[in-house]
Chain A
Amino acid sequence: MSVNLCLMSLLLIPFAAAGLALIQQGLGRSRSAAHSMLCSLCASATAAIVFVLVGSAWMGFAGGAAHRLHLAGRTIDWLGAEPFFAAGIGSSLLAGPYRALVLAYGIFAAGLAALIPINSGSDRWRLSAVAAASALLAAGIFPLFGHWVWGGGWLAQLVPLFGLPGFSDLGGAAGIQVLGGLGALSVAWIVGPRQGKYSEGVAAAIPGHNIVQVLFGCMLALIGWIGLESATSLLFYGAGVGQIALTLVNAMLAASSGCLAAMLTTRLRYRKPDASLSANGWIAGLVAGSAGCARLTCAETILIALVAGTLVTFLVETLELRLLIDDPGGAISVHLGAGLWGMLACSLFASGRAGWVALLLAQLIGAATLLGAIFPLIHISHRLLNRLIPFRVDADGDWQGMDIRELGAGAYPEFVLHADEFTPR
């Protein structure tokens, strides 16, 4: 593994967080813009600290200490057993930088996964609850699944345990995007829709307040995604320089195809391309393409992202109109919907190669684990947390906006008209 290339990739990941933060604040209301950005910073900060203190011990790394369970003649590696507080990280550098690089990756990845639910709870999820939910994710849920997939856990060890190919998540589609998307679904269910969203019996459109920032966020996210996919492939799948170059090409193709597919779909359905759905298509393409980023051919990536970009426009509408889920930024459709599609598609498009059915089976086991074990864990822990720290702001705060209610000042004070501005001087 090239340490320099890995370090460079890791340095790019914060751009993904910056992009997602801009997207979610731009798609929310102007009266909650500062709150949304502060929530993003707070989630990343909390996740980083809690991951280093607790999560890194449970995530571990391949070949490190782990808790093992002996079952039916097999040894199942189910949780990391490294020291808490990242103790000994300095002395481990003598043996090589791998543990430190995995720690750095985990900090950024946990932060990204914690950012995604903010999108669906936009305009009504309280700051203290965001911090608490991020801490919970970084301490327990992300490290648990991260260990299973990237830390030498049972999903990565399907070959020796059950004679199947290992579950493949080359760019974090499952461990970050789907995990974050499940968190977003749970948060949207708990906080409920914004006031006025369904008051007239039909879903009212509440457009985002700054689409320019949303589209700029998409461009930043692309840079971050390249870093994320490259770092994951290098650290956990032993990708070479050639595969990293392919990852870079595939990331650009995935984003482009997803965006164009969403633009075309909205153009055909609504007569004009929709900017916010096109932005969602861009991110959906990146999410879907990340599952097999270093292995898929360019044509396969384009096809996967085209489907993701189209799918996301229908999913956003279904969630809003049929399932009555108010998800202002489309996080559930983009991260959960496109992420699951990408996870399965990377094995479907391996058809023609030997053993693609076994690969599909491995990916299905990963999807079943996320839906059947991780989602109940997330949702039950969110519901318990909601009893301790109520997630939703009160009714007055909903109308007032989160900026004034929770921060005491708006993001755009110049937008407010003051009576004294009209008095003659």
Chain B
Amino acid sequence: MSLFGYLLMLSGWLLTLASLFLLAGVGQRLLFVAAGLAVELLGLGLLTYRYRALQREAR
């Protein structure tokens, strides 16, 4: 699960980079960068969920 979280975070960053190379308008880029950030937050959420689950198990 944590590997999937890291991959999601990295994918979000690559989406951000791709928007810089492939798109020209500020609005389009803003949309893609926001989408990239959302994917990164999803990955961070997954890592947080895994940590919480481990802590609950440890109790």
A residues near B, CB below 8 A?
A: 71-72, 74, 161-164, 189, 192-193, 198-199, 201, 323-325, 357-358, 360-361, 364-365, 367-369, 371-373, 375-376, 379-380
Given the complex, which residues of A lie within 8 Å of B40, measured CB to CB? 368, 371-372
Q: Which of A74, A164, A192, A375 has the most CB of B within 10 A?
A: A375
B26 at interface (Cβ–Cβ under 8 A)?
A: yes
B residues near A, CB below 8 A?
A: 6, 9-14, 16, 20-21, 24, 26-27, 29-30, 33-34, 36-37, 40-41, 43-44, 47-48, 51-52, 55-56, 58-59
Q: Top 4 closest A-B pairs, CB basis?
A: A372-B13, A368-B16, A324-B55, A372-B40
CB distance from B13 to the nearest CB of A (A): 3
- A72-B34 Cα distance, complex, nearest whole Å: 23
On whether the beta carbons of B13 and A373 are closer than 8 Å, the reply is yes
- A164-B25 Cα distance, complex, nearest whole Å: 10
If A71-B21, A72-B21, A193-B55 are given as contacts, then 18 extra A-B residue pairs at C-beta distance below 8 Å, sorted by A number, are: A163-B24, A164-B20, A164-B26, A198-B55, A324-B55, A324-B56, A357-B26, A357-B30, A358-B26, A361-B29, A364-B37, A365-B33, A368-B37, A371-B37, A372-B10, A372-B12, A372-B40, A376-B10
CB distance from A158 to the nearest CB of B (A): 8
Given the complex, which residues of B lie within 8 Å of A379, measured CB to CB? 6, 47
On whether the beta carbons of B21 and A371 are closer than 8 Å, the reply is no
- A199-B58 Cα distance, complex, nearest whole Å: 10
- A64-B55 Cα distance, complex, nearest whole Å: 47
CB distance from A121 to the nearest CB of B (A): 15
Given A361-B29, A364-B34, check contact A192 B55 (CB 8 Å): yes
Given A72-B21, A361-B33, check contact A372 B16 (CB 8 Å): yes
Given A368-B16, A380-B6, check contact A201 B26 (CB 8 Å): no
